[in-house]
Amino acid sequence: MSYSNFNQVFKEFNKLRVLIIGDVMVDAYIWGAVERISPEAPVPIVRATKRDYRLGGAANVALNVQALGADPILCAVIGKDEGAQKVFDRLEFNKISKEGIVESAERPTTVKTRVLSSHQHIVRVDEETDKLLSKEEEANVWKKIAALLPTCQVVIFEDYDKGVITKNLIKKSVELAEKNGIPTVVDPKKRNFLNYKHTTLFKPNLKELKEGLKLEFEKGDKPEVEKAVELLMEKLQSKGSLITLSEKGVYINFKNEKHHVPAHLREISDVSGAGDTVISIAALCVALNLSPHVIAALSNLGGGLVCEHIGVVPIDKNDLLQEANKLNITL
């Protein structure tokens, strides 16, 4: 289907159902005031005044997908603990389905707690494991994927190296997606980097690209970036790659098209969560079979927009639509 304007494209987003396989976590925040140093050790005492719990990791991708108008279905493993209850509470609050969530007494729910005072980040405490799923856990996740994947229009692998995504699950999920004609889009991390064979669009950032291929070059070196992406696509036998280059924008090699899209000048407040926004927009664009240039340009635009906000926030669909129309990106 061809589209004459972005208003049409954004309406089509509302019809999409997206399976997000990956590591779900809770981002917990404690805000407080520091008024003295502890007599027990030379550390600040924070008098807590406020706590907040937010969805993080793959669940933040779900929030972005939802903010764009699509229906996110999360497939993940969490613990049977207090953190799990926080996940379920936030999913319910945000009206996101929990039908793909597997609970396991064998592993904790990932919770990252940040302590802040006067906008200063004092410490972060992580409760997590990065061990791979047991055979039983993997079988339970696969049951969910096998049932849910054929009902979706695109699959996102959101990998944070916490062990939920295994080599076997990747292989089986990609094969099932191919069989059903459903594209697969990947936001990788280190451990599984070269395990995502035959995927549709692979989206590492520059650091992940260099580490994954054991290469060294500057982000401004366009020929080297292009060579690295060719090598990556050869190794993965993937259909395409989208590389985020921070202030240098993005580079896409997909459907025999190659485009460098520069970043837009912005007042950057916080880059947290920008990658989650980029993968969400890219996945919806791939599901609608949009051109490589539009995928790169719209993803780049959305990633920049969320960086104007402090903290991890999902994309604002109306802001993105206005910017896309204003910049006159050709469909």
- Give me the long-range contacts of 49-55 (CB less than 8 A, separation at least 24): 52/28, 53/26, 53/27, 53/28, 53/29, 53/86, 53/89, 53/90, 54/26, 54/27, 54/28, 54/29, 54/90, 54/312, 55/24, 55/25, 55/26, 55/27, 55/87, 55/90, 55/91, 55/94
Say if residue 198 is exposed, middle or buried (CB neighbours under 10 Å; 0-12, 13-18, 19+).
Answer: middle
Residue tagged active-site, from 81, 126, 276, 319: 276
The full 3-state SS of 228-296, as one line of letters, equals HHHHHHHHHCCCEEEEECHHHCEEEEECCEEEEECCCCCCCCCCCCHHHHHHHHHHHHHHCCCCHHHHH
In what helix (H) or strand (E) does residue 8 lie, and over which residues does it extend? Answer: helix 6-13
Q: Which residues contact 295 (CB under 8 A, 6 or more apart)?
A: 201, 242, 252, 254, 282, 285, 286
**Distances from the Cα of 266 to the Cα of 213, 309, 321, angstroms:** 31, 11, 17
Active site residue 89: no
CB 137 within 8 Å of CB 102:
yes
Q: Are the CB atoms for 77 and 107 separated by under 8 Å? A: yes
The C-alpha atoms of residue 261 and residue 100 are separated, in whole angstroms, by 35
User: Which two tokens mark 51?
Assistant: 């706590």
> Which one, of 312, 298, 321, lies nearest residue 61 by Cα?
312
Q: Calculate helix-pair angle for 222-236, 206-213, nearest 10 degrees.
A: 60
Give the residue numbers marked as catalytic: 276
